[in-house]
């Protein structure tokens, strides 16, 4: 089972076991990762699951589709080249060990 490490706002980390087929957002919610609000429940309509993907993992992900890209324009924390919506990233064995950072704020 893959593991995902979330770097929290305070710099602490939380590593969570992640089932294949789940999203980074679902894994964060199930693992009680603070700072990922996921107000829309994962339907890609609110951008409160914004995360920063560690640079080493970015090329392993598909590029954001048009809807995700548009929502990333309105995130509360600064959008960077590493910004993604965690509801749009599906876990697979290839992502085992992935590191993501939780932004300072959501909403």
Give pLDDT tens digits for 21-69.
999 999 999 999 999 988 777 778 788 899 999 999 999 999 999 999 9
CA atoms within 13 A on the CB side of 69: 5
pLDDT digits (tens, 9 = 90+) for 2-28: 999 999 999 999 999 999 999 999 999
The predicted pLDDT at position 45 comes to 78
Q: How far is 66 from 63, CA to CA, in rounded Å?
A: 9
Assess if residue 45 is contained within a domain: yes
End-to-end CA distance of the chain: 31
The predicted pLDDT at position 46 comes to 85
Assess if residue 107 is contained within a domain: no
Q: How far is 56 from 45, CA to CA, in rounded Å?
A: 27
Q: How far is 32 from 79, CA to CA, in rounded Å?
A: 24
Assess if residue 106 is contained within a domain: no
The predicted pLDDT at position 44 comes to 82
DSSP-derived secondary structure letter, 96: T
Q: How far is 13 from 28, CA to CA, in rounded Å?
A: 12
Assess if residue 65 is contained within a domain: yes
pLDDT above 80 (res 93): yes
Number of separate domains in the chain: 1
Q: How far is CA 47 from the centre of its chain?
A: 10
User: For residue 44, what is the domain's CATH number?
Assistant: 3.10.20.30
From the list 101, 102, 98, 103, the residue with the least C-alpha distance to 18 is: 98
Domain extent, residue 26, equals: 3-101
The predicted pLDDT at position 38 comes to 83
């Amino acid at each position: 089972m893959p593991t995902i490490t979330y770097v929290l706002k305070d710099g602490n980390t939380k590593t969570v076991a992640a089932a294949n087929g789940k999203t980074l957002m679902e894994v964060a919610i199930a693992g009680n990762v603070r700072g990922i609000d996921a107000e829309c429940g994962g339907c890609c309509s609110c951008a409160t699951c914004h995360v920063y993907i560690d640079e080493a993992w970015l090329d392993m992900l598909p590029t954001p589709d048009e809807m995700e890209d548009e929502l990333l324009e309105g995130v509360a924390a600064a959008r960077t080249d590493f910004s993604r919506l965690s509801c749009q990233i599906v876990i697979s064995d290839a992502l085992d060990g992935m590191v993501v950072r939780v932004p300072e704020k959501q909403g």
